[in-house]
Amino acid sequence: MAVAEKRILLKYADEPGYTPDIECYKKHGGYQMLEKTLKMKPEDISAEIMTSGVRGRGGAGFPMGMKMKFLDRKSGKPIYLVCNADESEPGTFKDRQIMYKDPHQLIEGMMITAYAINAKLAFIYIRGEMQEGARILENAIKEAREGGYLGDKILDSDYSCDMVVHRGAGAYICGEETGLLESLEGKRPNPRIKPPFFPAVLGLYQCPTLVNNVETLCNVKHIVEMGGEEYAKIGRPNNTGTRIWSVSGHVNKPGYFEFECGALTYGELIYDVCGGIPNGRKLKAVIPGGSSAKVLRADERFKGKLKDGTEFDWSIEDIPLDFDGPMAAGSMSGSGAVIVMDDTTDMVEAMANINAFYAHESCGQCTPCREGALWLKKVTTRMVNGGAREEDADLLKSIADQIEGRTICAFGEAAAWPVQSFVAKFKDEFIEKARAQANGAGKNGKMGAFTLA
Amino acid sequence: MSEDKKDQLITINVDGKDYEVPPGMNLIQAVEKYAQKEIPHYCYHEKLSVAGNCRMCLVEMGTPMRDRATGEPILDDNGVQKIGWMPKPAIACNSNTSPGLHIKTDSPLVKDCRNGIMEFLLVNHPLDCPICDQAGECRLQEFATEYGRGYSRFIEDKNVKPKRTRLGPRVTLDDERCILCSRCIRFSQEIAKDDVLGFVDRGSYSTLSCYPGKELANNYSLNTVDICPVGALTDTDFRFKMRVWFLKQAKSICTESSVGVNTVVWAREGKIYRITPRQNDGVNDTWMSDSGRRLYNLVESEMRLLAAKFKKDVVTTEKAIEKAVDILKGAKFGIVGNTQSSVEEMAGIQSLAKSHGAPVMFVGHIQEGDDLLISKDATPNTRGALLTGLTKALPYRQRDVVGRNLKKGEMKTLVVFNEDLIEAGVDKSLLEQVDIIYVGSQQNATSEMAKVVIPSQVVFEKAGSFVNQNFRLQKFEACIPAPQGVKSDAAIITSLRAGLGDEDASSSLAKIWESLSSDVKEFEDLSYSRIPDEGVQLDGSRFDQLNYIETGSLHYEAQPELAETA
C-alpha cells in the first residue's frame, strides 16, 4: 500500500489546465501571502522561518533560518537574495518542475524572503541548459512586475525589490554557492575560500547575501501561510516539511514525488511508489541523494544510534526518506535524487560514468580536485576499456582519500565520496573486472555491461 | 615587517613548541621567521593576494576551546586549556597568527596531504627537468624531493597542452608545466595593473592564456617568470641559454632610475645571462622592470669603449692618462660629472675639483616615470651628488650649465664623465674651443670630439654605492671582470689626481669611505663594509627644499607641497 504523496509545492503544478501565467496563479490563491507578508514585520517572518525548521533543499540541508541569522546586517551594505536554480546534480529534476510549471510560486517565495531580509535586488541563477525555464521565469517576472508584485513600491507598500534572471553557461560548479556568486559577478566560477568569503558576510559583490535553493525558497510561502509552528508539524523533528524526490534508474515508474519527510522509507519509495525493479530483477544498490552521495548496497545492514538516542538496525529498504535517515546510514539525502541500480548494473561502469562527470565538471582551481578527478576518470575509463588491474581498486580509493577534505569547496567530497563508497562496497567487482579481462573478456573495450545483461 | 614590539607579541604553538610572534601575521611567514620551519607552498606569494588553490600548505590547526555559552576557557584535567582541532586540515596561507593558535606541520596527516598534493601536481606534469630552464630553482623539484613519494602510480596518458605559447614579446609559456597557481594572473592584476592573463577551459585541462587580442607586453611582464614556481613561464631571452646552477650571483642595484631597484646579476665566465630582482621591502619588494633587466646589454654594446685614444690614435690607458694629466696641468679645467656615477666616484671627483678649483657641472636626465619602479629621474645617484657636495642644485632643474660656463671662456679643458654633451644640447662650437678628456664606457658624439678618451667600466664591472630617491644608501658588487685595460672611474680619477700631485689620492673603497664619513654629516659612522645588503636609510632633510622630480613609486611618496610644480 503506497503512502500518498503530500503535495504542497507541487500542489497545482501537474493539475490539468494549470498554466505558468500569473492569472492562473492568482486564481489559485497566488500572491496573497506576499500581500499578507508586507503587513508583517520582516523580523517576524524570519522568526517564522526559524521556527519552521526548514532545511536547505539544495544538498547540504542547512537550516534556512540559521542562514538568515548569519546575514551581516551591521555592515550597512546592501543585502542580496540569490536563488540557486543551477540544478545540476546528476539524478535531480525537481526544481525544474516548479520553475517550468509554477514559476510564480518561486517568485512569491523569493519576494517574501527578500522582504524578510530587506533585500532590494534578488537574482535567480538558472542552469544554462534550462533555456526554456529562463524564458518562463523572465516572462513570469515581467507579469509580476506589471501586477505590482515586484519592482517599485510592491503592492503600494514602501518596499521595493526587483528580480533578475541570470543564466549560467553550463557548469556544475556554479551550483556551489560561492562559485555561483563569482559567476553572477561575471567571472569564472571559481569557488571562494571560506573563511573569509561566507556569503552571509562577503557574498555577491562582497555584500551579505542569502543563497537558497528553488525548493527551499518556495517553502517560505507555505511557511508564512501556515505559520512556522504548523509547518514544523509536517514531517519529523529536524526533518520538517515535504521534499520532492527525483527517482531514476532501474524502477518501473521513475519520476518526481513530493512526500512529507520521513513518511515513508526508501523501500516503500522504490517498491510501492515507483513500482519496483523492472523484469523481476533484484535491487543491487541505491545512491540516495544525487551522484555525489555515497552509494548504499542492497544487502547492507545499517546499525547505530540516532540523535534522539533510538537505536536502529536498517536494511536499505528501512531507511526513512528524509534528511537524517540516509545521513545515519553513512550517506546523505543531498538533492533528493534517488538513483536505483539493479543487479544488471556493472558497478565499474557506473563508477566510470560518475567519474567522467566529475572530471568534466571540476573547475580546476585547486590541485586535489583538478588532478584527482581527472585521474579517477582515467583509471575507470581504462578499466572499462579492457585495461583493468587488480590494484586499481586500492588506487582509486587512495586517490579519493587524497582529495577528500583538502579542497576549496565541497566538490572535492562530491568527487571522492562515490569512489570511496563504490570501492568500499563493491571492491570484489573491481577486482573481478581485472581478472575477467585477464581471462579474455572485455579486451575489445566494447563489452562490460553487455556481458552481464 | 615593522619592528616587533615585545609587549604586543602573542604565543602560538607549532608542533608542540611555543613561539612568540606578532599578532595577525601571515602564518606561513610567522612559522618561517619564528619557528624556522618551512610550510611548503606554491600559490602563496607574500606580495600578492591569497588564492589558496595549490593546497600544498595544508596544516592541522586548532584553537583554544571556550565554552560557547559562557565564553569561559575549557580546561583539561591538568588545568590547561583544551585545544579544539579542526576536523579537516586548513591552508596556512589563508590564516593569520592569533593568540593560542596551535598548528601541526609534521603530523602524519599533514605529511599525507603534501604527499598527495605532490603526486597530483606531477601526474600531468611533463618530467622534462633535463631540458627545463627552471631546473635547479624549481619548487616542484624541491618539494618532490622533500615530500614526494619517489615513484609514480600514474600509468595513464598525460594531458597534452601547448608547449610554446608566446604570451608577449618577452614571455613564452609552456602550458604543460603550469600548475595553475595563478600567481602570474594575480601579479598582472594587482601589481602591474595590466589584467591580460586568465585561465581558459576547466578542470585539469585549464590553460593559462591571454585574453583575445591582448598580450603580456607591460614593462613588468618578466616578473611573472620570476614568480612562476615551475618552468611554465620562461624568459624568451634566457630560455634554453644556460643552466642556472652554472651562474654566479652578485648583488647589484639597477641604474635605470632613482628608485634604485635591488637586483641579482647572474653571470658565467664574464658573461651576464640575466638580471632578476632582489627582495627589498623598502624599495622594490620582489619586482623589477623588464627594461632594467636588459641593461646588461651595456656590457657588450656596439658603442662600448674598449680602447684608450689620444687624438684618435689608440694608446694604452696609462698613456692616455699621462696625456690627460699633461693637458690638465696646463690650464684651468672644468668637470662634467654624472649622476650615474657612484658615491665613491663622486667623492673622487669632488676631491679633484676642490684641490684644483675646477667647477663641476651636470646634465640632467629625465624620463617618463611609471609610478611603480621607474621614476622620472633617469639616473640612480642624484642624491649621492647632493650628499657628496658635487652639486647643490638638481641637474634636471638647471638649463645648459655647461654651455653657460663655456661661454665665459675661462676653461680651456673639460673632463667629461660618460656624458654626451652634444645630445644634451650644448653648442658644438663652444665644445670645439676646449680640449675634451672623455672618461666613459660608451662611445658617443662627445667622445668622438675628445682629445683624450679613457675607457671605463660599466656598473656591473665595479663596486660602489648609490643613494636612491628615498635617501637610501645601497651598495652594489662587481659581477663580472672588466675587459682588459678598462679601469674603473675611481681608479682613473685616482691616477689623474696622483698625476696632478694630490697626495691623498686613493681608489680603495675603504679609504674613500674614511674621508666620506668624516666629511659628510649623513655618512657619519658609515663605512663601505658596514652598508648592509638592504641599504641604509640616510637623513635627507638637509635637501628638503629641493624640487625633486619624482612623482611617487612603490615605496616613495612625492613631496606634497612641491609635487605640483614638478
Distance CA B355, CA B135 (A): 55
- B63 and A CB contact within 8 Å: no
Residues forming a β-bridge with A247: A255, A338
Q: Which residues of A touch B158 (CB under 8 A)?
A: none
According to DSSP, the β-strands at B308-310 and B313-315 are antiparallel
Residue B392: burial class (beta carbons within 10 Å; 0-12, 13-18, 19+): exposed
**Does the domain at residues A236-342 carry the CATH identifier 3.10.20.600?**
yes
CA distance A297 to chain B (A): 27
**Which residue of chain A is at minimal alpha-carbon distance from B203?**
A364
B404, B282 contact by CB (below 8 A): no
B343, B352 contact by CB (below 8 A): no
A208, A80 contact by CB (below 8 A): yes
Q: Which residues of B touch A368 (CB under 8 A)?
A: 55, 116-117, 120
Which of A173, A367, A395 lies nearest to residue B54, judging by beta carbons? A367
CB contact under 8 A, B203 and A372: no
Distance CA B447, CA B439 (A): 8
DSSP-derived 3-state class of residue A112: helix
Instruction: Give the rounded percent of residues in chain A with a pLDDT score beyond 90.
Output: 94
Q: What is the mean pLDDT of chain B?
A: 94
**Which residue of chain B is at minimal alpha-carbon distance from A411?**
B203
CA distance A380 to chain B (A): 11
Q: Which residues of A touch B115 (CB under 8 A)?
A: 402
Distance CA B437, CA B500 (A): 15
**Which residue of chain A is at minimal alpha-carbon distance from B198?**
A188
CATH of domain A22-233: 3.40.50.11540
pTM score, whole prediction? 0.93
Cis amide linkage into residue B22, ω under 30° from 0: no
Per-residue CA distances from B352 to A39, B360, B406, B439 (Å): 92, 10, 19, 14
- A253 and B CB contact within 8 Å: no
| Architecture of the B6-106 domain | Roll (3.10)
Interface test with A, best of B26, B53, B95, B124 (most A CBs within 10 A): B53
**Which residue of chain B is at minimal alpha-carbon distance from A170?**
B202
- B64-123 residues touching A, CB cutoff 8 A: 87-89, 91, 94, 112-113, 115-117, 119-121, 123
Residues forming a β-bridge with A198: none
- A88 and B CB contact within 8 Å: no
- B26 and A CB contact within 8 Å: no
Distance CA B562, CA B394 (A): 14
- A393 and B CB contact within 8 Å: no
Query: Domain B308-563 has what CATH class?
Result: alpha beta
Q: Where are the domains of chain B?
A: 6-106, 123-298, 308-563
CB contact under 8 A, A374 and B203: yes
Q: Which residues of B touch A375 (CB under 8 A)?
A: 120, 123, 154, 156
Cis amide linkage into residue B162, ω under 30° from 0: no
CATH of domain A347-452: 1.20.1440.230
CA proximity to A158, closest of A39, A271, A55, A64? A39
Q: Where are the domains of chain A?
A: 22-233, 236-342, 347-452
A80, A122 contact by CB (below 8 A): yes
pLDDT tens across the length of chain B (566 residues): 445 566 689 999 999 999 999 999 999 999 999 999 999 999 999 999 999 999 999 999 999 999 888 888 999 888 888 999 999 999 999 999 999 999 999 999 999 999 999 999 999 999 899 999 999 999 999 999 999 888 899 999 999 999 999 999 999 999 999 999 999 999 999 999 999 999 999 999 999 999 999 999 999 999 999 999 999 999 999 999 999 999 999 999 999 999 999 999 999 999 999 999 999 999 999 999 999 999 999 999 999 999 999 999 999 999 999 999 999 997 899 999 999 999 999 999 999 999 999 999 999 999 999 999 999 999 999 999 999 999 999 999 998 999 999 999 899 999 999 999 999 999 999 999 999 999 999 999 999 999 999 999 999 999 999 999 999 999 999 999 999 999 999 999 999 999 999 888 888 999 999 999 999 999 999 999 999 999 999 999 999 999 999 998 999 998 766 544 44
